[in-house]
Structure 1
Amino acid sequence: MAYDQYLAERIERVLSERKALFYQKKMMGGLVFMVDDKMCIGIARDKKTQEDRIMARIGEEAQVKNEKRLGCRPMEFTGRPMKDFVFIYPEGYDNEEDLEFWVDLALAFNPKAKKSKGR
């Protein structure tokens, strides 16, 4: 599983600063940060472009509100966008303020997110 370790450390730092209780889990070809046993935010490599991208679970409302934000794209693996999730490409998280924005959105949605049925 390939992912940018420096990006993982940056996300971990923001989550820690926000006092979020989280753990890391390798899945979906990358690394996911779990909060309250739910996927909150993660990192995966785009197989086509080989760019690392953030997977953020931000909810449908935030998804629509931020769809035009730099670097934000619908999260899709099968040709259909996944509800509540977006990909953020490097231009959308390169500076710390932008990274914090996405982490904060994911943390804000986490209490409303449903746990996986597999748990």
Structure 2
Amino acid sequence: MAYDEGLAERIRARLGADPAISEKRMFGGLAFLHEGNMAVGVIGDELMVRVGPDATGAALDRPGARAFDFTGRPMRGWVVVASSALSEDEALDAWIEEGDSFAASLPPK
């Protein structure tokens, strides 16, 4: 599955040159990792975000978000955000910040 390179570029622009951030092809898309822990990624034209188990309910209440169900079983602590909810830079920024903050809270891999 191809991923939206435009969305990936928007993410790169926001994460900047942070040396803690790396990229890795995963799930047929592109993942952005903070010290080895996945923070956000792009699958198709959608954004996947690692929000953590405690924040999943609140994240699912936000526009365009749904449970990340890649294998037929929803993954706790992860959401997918529809591209239609990412047209505004402020919305994308908020999701990236949430995913990066959660990943940064985990021990480095």
State if a TM-score over 0.5 links the two structures: yes
- Of Structure 1 and Structure 2, the greater strand share is in 1
2:36 corresponds in structure 1 to 37
Contact 1:31/1:43 (8 A) holds in 2:
yes
1:13 corresponds in structure 2 to 13
* Unaligned residue ranges in structure 1 (runs of 5+): 46-51
2:69 corresponds in structure 1 to 76
RMSD of aligned alpha carbons: 1.9
Q: Does 2:96 align with 1:97? A: no
The Cα of 1:110 is off from its aligned counterpart by 0.9
Higher relative contact order (CA closer than 8 Å, sequence separation 6+)? 2
**1:58-95 Cα shifts (integer Å, max 9, x gaps):** 11222111212111000012222101110000122111
User: Alpha carbons of 1:81 and 1:67: their partners in 2 closer, same or farther (altered >3 Å)?
Assistant: same
Q: 2:32 is matched by which residue type in structure 1?
A: F
Instruction: Provide the secondary structure at the position in 2 that maps to 1:80.
Output: coil
Contact 1:70/1:91 (8 A) holds in 2:
no
Instruction: Provide the secondary structure at the position in 2 that maps to 1:82.
Output: coil
Q: How does 1:30-69 map to 2 (within 5 A)?
A: 30-45=29-44, 52-69=45-62
State the distance in 2 between where 1:93 and 1:20 align. 25
Runs of 4+ in 1 over 3 A off after TM superposition: 112-115
Q: 2:94 is matched by which residue type in structure 1?
A: F
Aligned length: 109
Q: 1:78 is matched by which residue type in structure 2?
A: T
TM-score normalised by L of structure 1: 0.82
